[in-house]
Amino acid sequence: MVDLKIANTQTVLNYCTFLEKHLYFEETFRVYEQALNFLTWPYIYEVWLIYLTNFVERYKSEKIERARDLFEQVIATCPKDKIKVFYYLYADLEENYGLLNNCIRILDRACSDISKDEKPEIFSVLIAKTSNFFGITKTRAVFSVNYFFNF
């Protein structure tokens, strides 16, 4: 069904769960990639979410460039009302396995990409992480960008 591009989201997820249960991880990721080529939004949301979560959980820092490419791909195609979760996952990847500067850069980018209703939440996370990682001096620079006027 996946090869014929007639599978729905639930079929893809069930098949991938079956493959993971039998430890065929690369085959699972190949099926996710195929599904991303023929499913559309909003049906593809769950596939992206599970794919990225499983990929990061499986490879951690081993294939971080591939994970970054996947996150950039989903952010480029995702509708604005569903993008917040992917920014959080991307920032979490960078915080745990990548570079802290990239984590802050991703959250900063999220502040300009998401809807106005969600900006205060992302901005407060950005401030908290910047303060935690780099101290008050770098946090001042975040405030100087004038995000408050963009709400």
Would you kindly state where each structural domain of the chain is located, as residue ranges? 1-59, 77-151
Residues 46-73, mean pLDDT to the nearest whole number: 92
Q: Tell me: the pLDDT tens digits for 80-113?
A: 888 999 999 999 999 999 898 899 899 889 888 8
Q: What is the pTM of this model?
A: 0.86
Strands of the chain, DSSP E: none
Tokens 């769960």, residue?
Answer: 17
For residues 28 and 54, the answer to whether their CB atoms sit within 8 Å is yes
Residues listed for the chain: 151
Please give the mean pLDDT across all residues of the chain: 87
**What contacts 24+ positions apart, CB below 8 Å, involve 123-132?**
123/147, 125/88, 129/91, 129/95, 129/103, 129/104, 130/104
Write down the residue that tokens 């950039």 correspond to: 72
